[in-house]
Amino acid sequence: MPETPAEEASRIALERVYAALAEGRSFRLEAGAGAGKTYSLIKALEYLIGKHRREMPRRGQQIACITYTNVARDEIEARIDRHPIIYCDTNHGFCWSLIGGFQRQLRELVAAMPVWQERLEEAGGIGNRTIDYSLGHRSVRDTAISLGHDDVLPLTISLMEQPKFRRLIAQRFPVILIDEYQDTDAAWVEAIKQHFLGVEGSPLFGFFGDHWQKVYGTGCGELAHEAVEEIGKGANFRSVQPVVDVLNMMRPALPQFVEKPELPGEARVFLTNGWAGQRRTEAHWRGDLPAEVASQALEMTRAQLEADGWTITPQHTKILMLTHRVLATEQGYASLPGVFRFNDAFTNKENPYISFFVDVLEPACDAYVARQFGRMFEALGGSVPHLRRPADKAGWANAMAALVAIRATGTVGDVIDHLAATRRPRLPDVISDRERELAAFDRDAGEQMPALLAEIENLRAISYSEIQALRRYLDGSSPFETKHGVKGAEFENVLVIVGRGWNMYNFNEMLELASAPAIPAGRRGAYERNRNLFYVACSRPKRRLAVLFTQLVSDAAQGTLTAWFGIDNIETLPL
């Protein structure tokens, strides 16, 4: 069979990647939404395995594949059968593997870091303590110092100033591939550019990603360097032609070709400019509809889409909102976003409390209520003791019955205290340790509570019902999601709600700037931040896209929408 347009574009890009790898040239694969970036990364790894699987092990060398998340790392390792020639880890894990053996230098660098000096002074100096990265947060113990998440990259960057350290990296990892390069820490990428790119004897770097999909503030964004060949992948294996037409109008510099141009679909815009009432005037909400009118607009849009053939269920449609604060109110966990410094800590279940509640405790409670005790103990895993006598069974039954009741009316702290008292089930060690740290903190000493402990204290005060609501959202039983949260995901249909509510985003201004002759230098960062999130949201659907603007859209912004979507695909709701 002849190649589809998307297959041809994909093949051409992959051939250029192979050529760069064969000839020792660093490169950047710019793969737009739906282009199959991960597929290209896996094919590159397979090519390298075939080329180097014999000589690299003899030399004690590996190919590094650096990922942005643990989930991405696990997926890549599974797809290459965990081949020993490939070292795959997150950016922080990779950097720690580089610096962990340099204990003397690390002690000197840590002692010089302002953030550590007060802690070390209280501990009598750094001494000969071992520097480790075992806890994930800063801690000074009798024999060891545990680095925090924010320490690893700066320490690595400092060590990269030393030629010996750079030579050791190059000797150990002749090839380094970086996934989602645009979200990789900007200072770390700058150090790579300064010390490695274009420098003789350096590793070959392959950067895989898309700077239009940078949605995290610390990322480097577009990576441009004279020693890095740009390879555009102009394929889209996700979306139908009407959606890709919109994406190509947004981004003419990287046109995409679809796999099946004949498939039907749609891309529509709904405006609320016809509403004649008073719009919101608060700083972050200026120009948006009042909450009750915005909900009315959403329901009117949903009704219109369903009348036009959309199936708005979690299995078929995602409704994307701007922030977890807006989403959480709809979903029933309005207080949780205010607890955590970073939304990702709980929506990605990176916080140990959230992961325990959502992945262990709640499934176990569901099984207990259903009288499926084998499934309950399976959910609890290895922390469950054997039931050797009737008293054990009675103890478990009483503890679980009380837990189910507490979940319904109590706080997170009530649940934690109950588990700590009954030990049925036992709390994970990491939670027990943090609970002890919180209990031991002297609130009368006049010191500010560490941010990590403050999060725990605030979390304990939240109604546990919000944890249950969060779980319903995380397990996919909700049609709602945030625009940030769907990066990399795809759905049959997508309805994007565009409004205010966060000072970092004003999509009306972004649309105005998109059609301006030039973007002022002082607005470039804000424009790209808004543009990228809008692009990520609009590129999720496979078949149908609709965008509802609850904020007022100016004439200039409407001109941009007309150019992107077409005048026939824009309508104003009769509010």
CA distance linking residue 563 with residue 575, whole number of Å: 25
Q: What string of pLDDT tens digits covers the 575 residues of the chain? A: 789 999 999 999 999 999 999 999 999 999 999 999 999 999 999 999 999 999 999 999 999 999 988 888 999 999 999 999 999 999 999 999 999 999 999 999 999 999 898 888 888 899 999 999 987 778 888 899 999 888 999 999 999 999 999 999 999 999 999 999 999 999 999 999 999 999 999 999 999 999 999 977 788 999 999 999 999 999 999 999 999 999 999 999 999 999 999 999 999 999 999 999 999 998 888 999 988 898 899 899 999 999 999 998 888 898 887 655 555 565 677 777 778 765 556 666 678 898 899 888 999 999 999 988 888 888 887 545 556 677 878 889 899 999 999 999 999 999 999 999 998 888 988 899 999 999 988 888 778 888 888 889 999 999 999 888 888 777 655 545 554 445 556 789 999 999 987 778 899 999 999 999 999 999 999 999 999 999 999 999 999 999 999 999 999 999 999 999 999 999 999 99
Are the C-beta atoms of residues 48 and 175 closer than 8 Å to each other? yes
CA distance linking residue 44 with residue 10, whole number of Å: 13
Cis peptide bond N-terminal to 425, omega within 30: yes
**Nearest to residue 176, comparing CAs of 386, 26, 400, 294?**
26
- In angstroms, the Cα distances linking 495 to 417, 426, 550 are 42, 42, 13
Are the C-beta atoms of residues 466 and 336 closer than 8 Å to each other? yes
Query: What is the 3-class SS of 274-306, one letter each residue?
Result: CCCCCCCCCHHHCCECCHHHHHHHHHHHHHHHH
Are the C-beta atoms of residues 327 and 481 closer than 8 Å to each other? yes
Residues 6+ apart with CB under 8 A from 301: 270, 495, 546, 548, 573
Q: Which letter does DSSP use for residue 182 in this model?
A: G
In the Cβ-directed half-sphere of 364, how many Cα atoms lie within 13 Å? 25
What is residue 531's three-state secondary structure? Answer: helix
pTM of the model: 0.76
- What burial letters (b/e) apply to 497-506, b meaning 16+ CB within 10 Å? bbbbbeeebb
**Nearest to residue 216, comparing CAs of 521, 444, 566, 532?**
532
The two tokens of residue 306 are 């369903």
User: Residue 487 burial by CB count (10 A; 0-12/13-18/19+): exposed, middle or buried?
Assistant: buried
Cα–chain center distance at 276: 39
